[in-house]
């Protein structure tokens, strides 16, 4: 252990260490690039989640509005139906009244 190394051995050791450092630096750069991509992807996913949440709320709001609109339409349709039923009832009542009146007039009452 006490024997000193030669200059050539030292240069060879230094050269190998520099190569190892370059290789590790390249690996670290690749890891940093990958990490940046992961952060970018996470931010995009977060924006997508917020956007989807807004879309869901909008769909729920539209669904409630459609439900209310359907109820109003049904009320309007039933109102028209009730009106026609009343009209038909009045017409039938009038026909029956005229018929009964005609029969009573023939009988002499």
Least confident of 7-11, 80-84, 88-92: 80-84
Q: How confident is the model at residue 104 (pLDDT cuts 50, 70, 90)?
A: confident
First vs last C-alpha separation in the chain: 146
Question: Do you know the residue count of the chain?
Answer: 109
**Does the pLDDT at position 1 exceed 60?**
no
Contacts of 13 (CB under 8 A, 6+ apart): 5
- Predicted TM-score (pTM) of the model is 0.47
């Amino acid at each position: 252990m006490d024997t000193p190394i030669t200059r050539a051995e030292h240069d060879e050791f230094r050269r190998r260490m520099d190569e190892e450092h370059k290789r590790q630096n390249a690996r670290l750069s690749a890891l940093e690039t990958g990490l940046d991509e992961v952060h970018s992807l996470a931010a995009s996913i977060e924006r997508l989640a917020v956007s989807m949440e807004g879309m869901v709320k909008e769909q729920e709001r539209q669904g409630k509005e459609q439900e209310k609109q359907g109820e109003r339409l049904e009320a309007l349709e039933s109102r028209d139906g009730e009106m026609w039923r009343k009209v038909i009832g009045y017409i039938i009542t009038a026909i029956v009244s005229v018929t009964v009146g005609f029969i009573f007039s023939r009988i002499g009452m």
